[in-house]
């Protein structure tokens, strides 16, 4: 019964989305305010209905209702409760439902928080959101329905892929999807602006918080996924340049460019058509990513069940959404009034450079990801494009990004003085040198590129702090004065400093991976292996019974010069239902370095394969990403975005006594 | 001119979409791994026989269609494939030649005693040299060699029943006719 309610709710959501997509458009065309308002009600109603559908499917999973095919295929009564819940989106159908749920959530958020928008613009934005919802709801209902029943329910289900039975599944996909789908809002704003034929500072101020919020979610989602891969897969890597990972990186790069170029639109009324194009491309890349992952045209470790019919359906959606919006762009964007002019050396110039580099980086990842597909379709060789390509192309592109990132914010708008800025940045040069020299002393000169990377991280980190100190006039005026200046600064400025500093942390972490020490060897119980300055002793391996697996639990003692510094318990879990083994690594995380131990296969009864790593600064990669996302949140809390507040003040000047 | 520039994104996208549509053809499988040796002479080999006695060589198989199957006792997917091989050897008289890949002789013998022996002859490739010559990714892997000694098809991983019906058996019928 509950399943049918969910199913009907989803069908109703499609009907509501149809209304939401069409009626506000008619309202805008005829100037009918009531029809425009259907967008708002529709978005809220759609969210409610999709939430009911989501809850219904979740209920089926939690109660192990094996009359539902999707539950049979992906669940089992022995599965711990957490994975019964997260298993809802651990498969194609359920994850599409999560996708649509996030879309409805964004629509409802736009409907609730944009009372300050001009009614026509809001109606257009919600109508575009409705169109996207129509596409994906019909995709779910026609090709990937999670609510289908079977007349002959089996006694138990087939269980969830053991690799997915990890708390990571609870957080990684929701954040990632929120990021992907969140960009639909900036896409909708872009399409609405093209229809209206007007892009101005106010438009940029409305669209930027949405882009920023999606960017934060996507940053967290990607970082969580990378961290998950690091601790769960047992080979110590954290990024594999797998097509699906690239599919998430491309919208991130384009989205990063978008949040930067929209600053130029807001402050200087320039780069308008470029920003519109970026908003379209960012969401388009999310859609293309969805296509690549779910159509099976590329082989990837993340692949879902492959079905060409689904691929064809998504391709049609792409044609309508991307093709349509780009066509609209081609027709309407030339009419947009070009804005303010600026010299190449200026804040705008730096932001343009940032955009060019990020767009090139996204294009590079795009080419590398799709090249095997292109070649294959042409009837050429089978090949995969892997880390060597991306490291050689993507890496060098990030060097000027980091250099310019420090210089750009210190340049004045319109026309900047590069020489003067460079003089103020002497401390950043010193920071770069110090970082590189320190790394050389600690690790030697065997990895020149890594030293260079750490030097860049040092440059970026110090440079960002110098810029911030400059603004609050640290040490040039009293500390109290600086404090007051810092409080007086817009939150967005602090947010930028935080986010840029976070990137410096991540870059340091990535660069330091060159200094990893790795060890793979077999060891008898009681035997010891050397790992750098540590000695690793395999004390014992015991069998343990888990809820739905049997584990070989190793006890590994790590010593440094005779003193015990850690006792670690890596596991090998054998999931009896799926006949599949997973690795549960043991990681001792430190600020300086991680110790990472994974238990491999037994060679015989008393000999085990052990894989161990010493990874300097590796946790900085994800910590930096969190700092970036936190910077984004701080920027989001800037009162400038809460234009609604300002407008309420304007409308009711009497009430505006408190000078916020 | 400026207007044409604005048309560029949508044109680029249309080209991309066409490519995607081509990639969605039902016969396109990104996971398929054709052999680099396809339609080329199979690497020659003379290897000791698992049963003892005369060594197994490619030359001795010349003039007949051969299905060469790399297997090992330590390989779990080989156990999945094994019942299918047994059925094919019995019902379809599949000309199966086994290669015991990177395996101890006694282990290979033990597993065949336990599960049954579908092979007409078994070569022992203890070092995995022949595997390198053929470009084996991992066991099990199966090669179809025609009467003139050329590799005509490669199957990576365990043979699935539908693949056998759809691809392997028709190919064998065709090769035997010619």
DSSP string, A42-91: HHHHHHHHHHHHHHHHHHHHHTT-TTBHHHHHH--TTS-HHHHHHGGGSS
B38 Cβ neighbours under 8 A, 6+ residues apart: B151, B152, B153, B154
Please name the residue that has the structure tokens 């986010």.
A499
Q: Please report the pLDDT score of residue A657 as a whole number.
A: 36
Structure tokens at A552: 């070989």
| Mean pLDDT along residues A359-381 | 86
Choose the closest CB to A315 out of B2, B21, B26.
B21
Residue B4 contacts A where some CB pair is shorter than 8 Å: no
A621, burial (CB in 10 Å: exposed 0-12, middle 13-18, buried 19+): buried
Give me the pLDDT at residue A468, please: 93
Two structure tokens written together for B44: 């020659």
Of A284, A299, A333, the CB nearest to B6: A333
Closest CA to A128 of A143, A106, A95, A113: A106
Evaluate if residue B144 carries a pLDDT over 60: yes
Instruction: Categorize the per-residue pLDDT at B1 as very low, low, confident or very high, splitting at 50, 70 and 90.
Output: low
* Chain A nearest-CA residue for B7: A330
Give the closest of A323, A373, A382 to B23, CB-based. A373
Q: In sequence order, which residues have a C-beta less than 8 Å from that of residue B35 and are 6 or more positions away?
A: B134, B135, B143, B151, B153, B154
Task: For residues A245 and A222, give the distance between their C-alpha atoms in angstroms, rounded to a whole number.
Answer: 8
Structure confidence at residue B178 (pLDDT): 73
Asked if B23 lies within 8 A of A312 by C-beta distance, the reply is no
With a CB cutoff of 8 Å and minimum separation 6, the contacts of B61 are B97, B145, B149
**Rounded Cα distance, A297 and A377, in Å:** 10
The pLDDT score that the predictor gives to residue B91 is 85
Residue A660 has pLDDT above 70, yes or no: no
Residues of B in contact with A311 (CB under 8 A): 24
**Helix (H, G, I), strand (E, B), or coil: what is residue A168?**
helix
**Pairing mode, strands B46-47 and A528-531:** unpaired
Residues 6+ positions from A23 with CB-CB distance below 8 Å: A35, A38, A39, A42
* Facing A323 at nearest CB: one of B7, B13, B21: B13
Condensed to tens digits (0 to 9), the pLDDT of residues B98-124 reads 999 988 888 888 888 888 899 988 999
Please give the pLDDT value at position A570.
Answer: 94
pLDDT at B21: 85
Q: Quick one: average pLDDT of A610-620?
A: 93
Residue A592 has a CB neighbour count (10 Å cut-off) of 10
pLDDT number for residue B37: 75
Place of tokens 């070989």: A552
The answer on pLDDT for B58 being more than 90 is: no
Whether residue B5 is predicted with pLDDT greater than 80 in this model: the reply is yes
Mean pLDDT of A389-409: 93
Predicted pLDDT of residue A304? 60
- Length of chain B (residues): 178
Of the two residues A252 and A602, the one the predictor is more confident about is A252
Superfamily of domain B43-51+63-177: Glutaredoxin (3.40.30.10)
- What residue in A sits closest to B74 (Cα-Cα)? A603
Q: What is the Cα–Cα distance from B163 to B57, expressed in whole angstroms? A: 28
Q: How far apart (Å, rounded) are the C-alpha atoms in residues A276 and A193?
A: 8
Q: Is the pLDDT of residue A655 over 50?
A: no
DSSP assignment of A213-233, as one string?
HHHHHHHHHHHHHHHHHHHHS
Confidence (pLDDT) at A658? 36
Q: Is B10 on the interface with A (CB under 8 A)?
A: yes
Contact at CB, A326 and B13, closer than 8 angstroms = yes
A376 CA to chain B: closest CA distance, Å? 8
CA distance A134 to A43: 12
In this prediction, residues B76-90 reach a mean pLDDT of 87
Cα–Cα distances (Å) from A254 to A147, A271, A287, A358, A451, in that order, read: 35, 15, 13, 7, 28
Query: A435: which 2 tokens?
Result: 């970082």
- Name which of B24, B28, B36, B158 to mutate to probe chain A: the one with the most chain A Cβ atoms within 10 A of its Cβ: B24
d(CA A37, CA A126): 10
Between residues A479 and A4, the one the model is more confident about: A4
Average pLDDT over residues A364-370: 93
- The nearest CA of chain B is from the CA of A272 a distance in Å of 13
Interchain contact, A297 vs B6, CB within 8 Å = no
> Over chain A, what is the mean pLDDT?
89
Are A299 and B3 inside 8 Å of each other by CB? Answer: no
3-state class (DSSP) for residue B117: coil
Report B:16-75 residues touching A (Cβ under 8 A).
17, 19-24, 26, 28, 30-34
Determine the Cα–Cα distance for residues A120 and A127; give it in Å rounded to an integer.
10
| Nearest CA-CA distance, residue B23 and chain A, Å | 6
Q: In whole angstroms, what is the distance from residue A542 CA to residue A67 CA?
A: 39
The per-residue pLDDT for range A107-121, each reduced to its tens digit, is 999 999 888 889 999
Tokens at B28, concatenated: 């396109």
Domain layout of chain B by residue ranges:
43-51+63-177
The secondary structure of A492-525, three-state, reads: HHHHHHHHHHHHHHHHHHHHHHHHCEEEEEEEEC
B2-6's contacts with Cβ under 8 Å and 24+ in sequence apart are B2/A334, B3/A330, B3/A334, B6/A273, B6/A329, B6/A330, B6/A333, B6/A334
Task: Please give the backbone phi and psi of residue A90, each rounded to the nearest 5 degrees, phi first.
Answer: -90, 20
Report CB contact under 8 Å: A323, B10: yes
Q: Does the beta-carbon distance from A284 to B13 stay under 8 Å?
A: yes
Tell me whether residues A376 and B23 touch, CB distance under 8 A.
yes
pLDDT at A300: 62
For residue A305, the model assigns a pLDDT of 56
**How are beta strands B141-145 and B96-101 bridged, if at all?**
unpaired
C-alpha A207/C-alpha A584 separation (Å) is: 43
Residue A246 has pLDDT above 60, yes or no: yes
CA–CA min distance B71, chain A (Å): 19
* Cβ pair A490, A601 in contact under 8 A: no
CA atoms of A302 and A291, how far apart (whole Å): 13
| Interface membership of B6 toward A (CB under 8 Å) | yes
Segment among A200-214, A215-229, A303-317 with least mean pLDDT: A303-317
Specify the pTM: 0.84
Tell me whether residue B101 is exposed, middle or buried, using C-beta atoms within 10 angstroms of its C-beta: 0 to 12, 13 to 18, 19 or more.
Answer: buried
Are A23 and A35 spatial neighbours (Cβ–Cβ below 8 Å)? yes
Residue A92: pLDDT over 70: yes
Which pLDDT belongs to residue A644? 47
Nearest CA in chain A to B20: A315
In sequence order, what are the residues at sequence separation of 6 or more whose Cβ sits closer than 8 angstroms to the Cβ of residue A62?
Answer: A81, A84, A85
For residue B22, the chain A residues in CB contact (below 8 A) are: 377
Q: Is the pLDDT of residue A104 over 80?
A: yes
Chain centroid offset of residue B74 CA? 18
Residue A636 has which token pair?
Answer: 């989001």
Other beta carbons within 10 angstroms of residue A304's beta carbon come to 18
Which two tokens mark A326?
């780009």
Q: What's the pLDDT score for residue A380?
A: 67
Q: Which helix (H) or strand (E) holds A169?
A: helix A168-196
Considering only residues A341 and A72, tell me which one the structure prediction assigns the higher pLDDT. A72
Examine the pLDDT at B70 and tell me if it is beyond 60.
yes
Whether A295 sits inside 8 A of B33 (CB atoms) is no
Question: Which residues in A lie closer than 8 A to residue B32 (C-beta atoms)?
Answer: 382
Q: Is A587:A558 a contact under the CB 8 Å cutoff?
A: no
Q: Which residues contact A607 (CB under 8 A, 6 or more apart)?
A: A522, A523, A524, A525
Q: What is the DSSP letter of A576?
A: T
């Amino acid at each position: 019964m509950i399943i049918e309610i969910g199913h009907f709710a989803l069908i109703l959501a499609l009907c509501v989305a149809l209304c939401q997509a069409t009626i506000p458009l008619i309202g805008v065309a005829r100037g009918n305010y009531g029809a425009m308002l259907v967008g708002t009600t529709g978005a809220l109603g759609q969210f409610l209905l999709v939430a009911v559908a989501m809850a219904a499917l979740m209920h089926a999973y939690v109660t192990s209702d094996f009359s539902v095919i999707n539950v049979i295929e992906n669940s089992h009564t022995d599965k711990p409760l957490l994975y019964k819940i997260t298993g809802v989106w651990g498969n194609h159908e359920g994850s599409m439902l999560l996708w649509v749920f996030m879309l409805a959530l964004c629509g409802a958020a736009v409907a609730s928080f944009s009372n300050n928008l001009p009614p026509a613009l809001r109606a257009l934005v919600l109508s575009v959101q409705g169109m996207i919802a129509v596409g994906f709801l019909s995709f779910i209902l026609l090709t990937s329905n999670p609510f289908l029943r079977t007349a002959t329910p089996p006694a138990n289900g087939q269980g969830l892929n053991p690799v997915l039975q990890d708390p990571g599944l609870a957080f990684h996909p929701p954040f990632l999807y929120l990021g992907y789908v969140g960009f639909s809002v900036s896409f909708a704003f872009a399409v609405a602006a093209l229809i209206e034929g007007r892009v101005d500072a106010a438009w940029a101020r409305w669209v930027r918080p949405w882009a920023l919020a999606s960017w934060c979610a996507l940053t967290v989602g990607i970082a969580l996924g990378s961290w998950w891969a690091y601790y769960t897969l047992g080979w110590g890597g954290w990024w594999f340049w797998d097509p699906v990972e690239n599919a998430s990186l491309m919208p991130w790069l384009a989205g990063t460019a978008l949040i930067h170029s929209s600053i130029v639109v807001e402050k200087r009324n320039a780069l308008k058509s470029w920003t519109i194009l970026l908003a379209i491309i960012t969401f388009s890349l999310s859609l293309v990513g969805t296509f690549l992952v779910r159509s099976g045209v590329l082989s990837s470790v993340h692949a879902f069940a492959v079905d060409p019919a689904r691929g064809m359906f998504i391709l049609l959606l792409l044609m309508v959404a991307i093709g349509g919006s780009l066509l609209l762009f081609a027709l309407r964007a030339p009419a947009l009034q070009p804005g303010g002019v600026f010299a190449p050396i200026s804040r705008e110039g730096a932001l343009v450079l940032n955009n060019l580099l990020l767009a090139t980086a996204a294009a590079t990842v795009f080419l590398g990801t799709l090249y095997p597909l292109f070649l294959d379709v042409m009837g050429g060789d089978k090949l995969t494009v892997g880390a060597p390509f991306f490291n050689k192309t993507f890496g060098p592109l990030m060097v000027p990004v980091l250099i310019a990132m420090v210089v750009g914010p210190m340049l004045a708008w319109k026309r900047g003085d590069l020489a003067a800025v460079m003089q103020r940045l002497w401390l950043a040069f010193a920071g770069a040198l110090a970082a590189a020299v320190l790394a050389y002393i600690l690790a030697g000169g065997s990895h020149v590129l890594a030293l260079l990377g750490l030097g860049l991280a040092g440059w970026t980190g110090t440079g960002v702090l110098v810029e911030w100190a400059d603004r609050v006039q640290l040490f040039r005026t009293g500390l109290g004065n600086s404090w007051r200046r810092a409080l007086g600064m817009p939150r967005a400025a602090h947010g930028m400093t935080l986010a840029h500093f976070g990137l410096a942390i991540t870059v340091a972490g990535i660069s330091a991976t060159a200094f990893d020490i790795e060890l793979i060897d077999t060891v008898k119980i009681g035997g010891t292996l050397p790992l750098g300055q540590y000695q690793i002793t395999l004390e014992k391996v015991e069998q343990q019974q888990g809820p739905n697996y049997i584990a070989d639990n190793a006890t590994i003692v790590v010593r440094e010069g005779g003193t015990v510094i850690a006792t670690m318990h890596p596991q090998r879990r054998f999931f009896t239902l799926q006949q599949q083994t997973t690795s549960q690594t043991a990681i001792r995380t430190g600020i300086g370095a991680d110790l990472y131990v994974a238990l491999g296969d037994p060679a015989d009864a008393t000999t085990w394969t052990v894989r161990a790593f010493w990874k300097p600064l590796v946790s900085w990669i994800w910590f930096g990403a969190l700092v970036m996302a936190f910077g984004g949140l701080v920027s989001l809390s800037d009162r400038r975005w809460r234009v609604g507040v300002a407008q309420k003040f304007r409308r009711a000047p009497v009430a505006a006594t408190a000078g916020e | 001119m400026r207007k044409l520039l604005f048309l560029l994104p949508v044109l680029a996208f249309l080209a991309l979409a066409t490519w995607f549509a081509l990639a969605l053809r039902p016969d396109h499988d990104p996971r398929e791994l054709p052999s680099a040796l396809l339609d080329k002479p199979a690497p020659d080999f003379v290897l000791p026989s698992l049963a003892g006695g005369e060594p197994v060589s490619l030359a001795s198989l010349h003039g007949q269609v051969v299905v060469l199957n790399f297997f090992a006792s330590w390989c779990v997917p080989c156990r999945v494939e094994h019942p299918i091989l047994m059925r094919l050897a019995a019902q379809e008289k599949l000309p199966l030649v086994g290669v015991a890949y990177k395996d101890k002789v006694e282990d290979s013998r033990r597993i065949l005693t336990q599960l049954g022996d579908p092979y007409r002859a078994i070569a022992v490739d203890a070092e995995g040299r022949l595997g390198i010559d053929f470009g084996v990714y991992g066991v099990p892997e199966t090669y179809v060699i025609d009467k003139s000694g050329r590799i005509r098809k490669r199957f990576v991983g365990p043979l699935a029943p539908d693949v056998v019906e759809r691809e392997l058996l028709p190919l064998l019928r065709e090769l035997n006719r010619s």
